[in-house]
Amino acid sequence: MTTRLSLLLFGNLIGTLLTNPFDVCLSKLATQQPERPGAKLKYSGFFNCLSTVYREEGLKKLFLGGVHPRFMFNTFNGIMFLFIYDRFITSLNTATKAQA
């Protein structure tokens, strides 16, 4: 269980860091509003948002902005999944041995 938990944490960290730029841009695109009525939106699309955030806020914002909440959420979900999976496999093995 300890090895799987360690692998879960490592994989979650790598996955969160690699996908964070996409999450940052999608969040900015979904919540953007014009500065005044009738004005153009700041971002015209995903790649425009990606380059604008990189230019204005830097690489750190793309890769580290919001990482902690996503990492914690994914870790909690992963731990719950591992716990439920272990319980299910244990129950399945017990039922199989009882039938044999």
Q: In this predicted model, what pLDDT tens digit does every residue of 14-52 receive, in sequence order?
A: 999 999 999 999 999 999 998 888 889 999 999 999 999
pLDDT at 95: 87
92, with CB counted inside 10 A (0-12, 13-18, 19+), is exposed
pTM metric for this prediction:
0.71
Tell me what percent of the chain is helix, strand and coil, each rounded to the nearest 5.
80, 0, 20
Spell out the residues 6+ positions from residue 66 whose beta carbon is closer than 8 angstroms to its own: 20, 23, 24, 27
Instruction: Name the residue with higher pLDDT: 7 or 66.
Output: 7
Percent of all residues in the chain with a pLDDT value above 70, rounded to a whole number: 98
Residue 97: pLDDT band (50, 70, 90) is: confident
